Amino acid sequence: MLPSLRLLSAQAGRVFKLTLYTGTDCQLCDVMRNEIATAANSVPLTLATYNIRDDSLDNVHYWRRKYQYDIPVLHLDGQEIFRHRLKAAELVAKLQSRRAEE
């Protein structure tokens, strides 16, 4: 399975780096994470999650103030691209559009 993932990444170009800002017991976050996983079948990406309720994380107070009422929030290369909800097809379209701009 790993060789095919590498092949997909090599054919598709860049691997998109996403960050999902989440919280504890967040059902919308779980739904968004599942949609991102579905999108990953079509577009090469990595996903880092950042729990804004985890006091041990760097800059947690900044992110908590910024997103405490808005999680989940998805960033691409440090910029917000989705908030609250997304569909896998929407994410794939956005990432493919971004690739075309590069």
Orientation of helix 27-39 relative to helix 88-101, angle to 10°: 50
Comparing 3-7, 11-15, 29-33, 90-94, the range with the smallest average pLDDT is 3-7
Q: Domains along the chain? A: 13-101 (3.40.30.10)
* Per-residue confidence (pLDDT) for residue 9, from 0 to 100: 43
Within a 10 A sphere around the Cβ of 46, how many other Cβ atoms? 11
pLDDT tens-digit series, residues 30-82? 999 999 999 999 999 999 999 999 999 999 999 999 999 999 999 999 999 99
| Whole-angstrom distance, CA of residue 40 vs CA of residue 59 | 28
